[in-house]
Structure 1
């Protein structure tokens, strides 16, 4: 896996990332940090990556189990350390999974498997952060 980051120049703190898979995303800082607030902060993207990784796992596990999943949302709430490096110290993943006749136990299992076995992002973040999760199953 590879990625290239280019700085937008001396007028601010805008950075453009080009991924090895050929995609582009931007990152920026808050105005008080020299940024222009044009894009997500790098740490927000790390949090989004963990949420995307976990949601991907949950949907894939449920589909492989032949469950009729029709929607998956995960809201993340995180706290960071007060001092540098301001690592994540707590992250809560709140899953809302929608489907037809979707057993709550199957969703709980999928979330647990993601957290304990498959999600590389939360495994890394779990080295500094307490990771918790909750689920809400909605009938489609």
Structure 2
């Protein structure tokens, strides 16, 4: 896997993935940026959220759960001193669907956290406290 990041002036950078996609990252005005994209540390959180949500959706689909939507809210804390690394990250999954089995939702979140999400497991290995929770929103079945 490869990627490149190119400086685009001031505090803006263009990240290019090996799969041919690009993203603009930018700093806040008080750091010389123009707020034209997420901060690099926010990108880490977005990657973590994407990785873990991909797992949860995949596991629930394989479990034949009737999911309509899966969102994850991510709350993170960073160290006050430089380097301002993440110290705690909490992911709360909101799973929406019909006839969802809580045991299967709980299992999907646990499997992502403990076995499949490389980003989550890598951050934990680096000393970040990563926690997970979930909520289920049951939709009425159409008759």
TM-score class normalised by the smaller sequence:
over 0.9
Distance in 2 separating the partners of 1:91 and 1:36? 27
Equivalent residue of 1:73, what SS? strand
Match in the other structure for 1:26: 24
Deviates further, 89-98 or 30-39: 30-39
Query: Structure 2: how far apart are the matches of 1:124 and 1:27?
Result: 22
2: CA distance, partners of 1:18 / 1:51 = 19
What CA deviation, in whole Å up to 9, does each residue of 1:3-59 have, x standing for no partner? 0111012xx110001110000101011111111111100000100110111110000
C-alpha separation between the residues in 2 aligned to 1:125 and 1:5?
A: 22
SS of 1:86's partner is coil
Aligned to 2:42: 44
Q: SS where residue 85 of structure 1 aligns?
A: coil
- Within-5 A mapping of 1:1-140: 1-9=1-9, 12-126=10-124, 127-140=126-139
Unaligned runs of 5+ in 1: none
TM-score (norm 2): 0.93
Q: Give the number of aligned pairs.
A: 138
8 Å contact 1:50–1:122 — kept in the other structure? yes
Q: What is the distance in 1 between the residues matched to 2:82 and 2:105?
A: 37
User: Offset of 1:128 from its aligned partner?
Assistant: 2.5
TM-score by length of 1: 0.95
| Offset of residue 93 of structure 1 | 0.5
Structure 1 runs of 4+ aligned residues shifted over 6 Å read: none
- How far does residue 123 in structure 1 lie from its aligned partner after superposition? 1.1
